[in-house]
């Protein structure tokens, strides 16, 4: 049975919630998406305007309507401020797999946000969506994400050599995955 999502699901943890990404979030999201230091492990070319972020949001929402992505903003519960974004992209309900894409505002990095959110997202992926495989691919130098993925049971599958160019040099991508049968062991 193939799942059909009519709306972007709301997920919450003790301190954070993942809610539907909307175009009117663009200005708040530009604060972290436009920050070159925040984006250093994701892209050498972060958005240069709120308008570019709005276009990115529109593309994500179009992908959601095609059932190929679930785009969320991450909000801090106490303040309701947007502190990041989380996407399940390359979502394929037939093959029962997805990839994760995450950006956390610099002010909230290394504060346990993803440590708190990831178990809820994985539960949603495997138990609610019925997926079999979740992928996290990261730049080789992203030690924080590597540690997070390994802590949550992900297995390193391999290294894609020199996949991204930042204007000065090439970066390898390390691919991690977690299968439903491995998730059920945790």
Domain that holds residue 100: 11-132
**pLDDT, tens digit, for every residue of 113-123?**
999 999 999 99
Number of other CB atoms surrounding residue 55 within 10 Å: 14
Beta strands in the chain (DSSP E): 11-12, 16-20, 69-76, 82-92, 97-104, 133-139, 155-165, 170-179
In a domain, 90, yes or no: yes
In a domain, 69, yes or no: yes
In a domain, 177, yes or no: no
In a domain, 21, yes or no: yes
pLDDT of 122 reads 97
CB 25 within 8 A of CB 57: yes
CATH number for the domain spanning 35: value is: 3.40.630.30
Match 């230091």 to its residue by tokens: 37
Q: Which residues contact 184 (CB under 8 A, 6 or more apart)?
A: 126
**pLDDT, tens digit, for every residue of 89-144?**
999 999 999 999 998 998 998 899 999 999 999 999 999 999 999 999 998 888 98
In a domain, 144, yes or no: no
In a domain, 174, yes or no: no
* pTM attached to this predicted model: 0.91
DSSP 8-state class, residue 161: E
Spatial distance between the Cα atoms of 47 and 98, rounded to a whole number of angstroms: 24
**pLDDT, tens digit, for every residue of 143-185?**
989 999 999 999 999 999 998 877 778 889 999 999 999 997 6
Buried b or exposed e, range 87-113, using 16+ CB within 10 angstroms: bbbebebeebbbbbbbbbbeebbeeeb
In a domain, 156, yes or no: no
Structural domain count of the chain = 1
pLDDT of 33 reads 84
Which CA distances in Å does 49 have to 30, 31, 45, 84, 143? 7, 10, 12, 17, 29
In a domain, 166, yes or no: no
């Amino acid at each position: 049975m193939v799942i059909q999502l009519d709306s972007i699901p709301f997920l919450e943890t003790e301190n954070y919630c993942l809610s539907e990404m909307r175009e009117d979030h663009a200005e708040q999201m530009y604060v972290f998406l436009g920050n070159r230091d925040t984006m250093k492990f994701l892209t050498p070319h972060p958005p240069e305007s709120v308008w570019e972020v709005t276009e990115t949001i529109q593309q994500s929402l179009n992908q959601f309507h095609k059932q190929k992505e679930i785009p969320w903003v991450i909000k801090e519960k106490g303040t309701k401020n947007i502190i990041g974004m989380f996407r399940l992209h390359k979502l394929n309900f037939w093959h029962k797999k997805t990839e994760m894409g995450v950006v956390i505002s610099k002010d909230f990095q290394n504060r346990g946000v993803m440590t708190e959110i990831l178990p809820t997202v994985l539960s949603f992926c495997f138990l609610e969506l019925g997926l079999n495989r979740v992928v996290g691919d990261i730049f080789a130098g992203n030690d924080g994400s590597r540690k997070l993925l390994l802590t949550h049971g992900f297995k390193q599958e391999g290294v894609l050599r020199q996949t991204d160019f930042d204007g000065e040099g090439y970066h390898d991508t390390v691919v991690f995955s977690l299968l439903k049968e491995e998730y059920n062991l945790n």
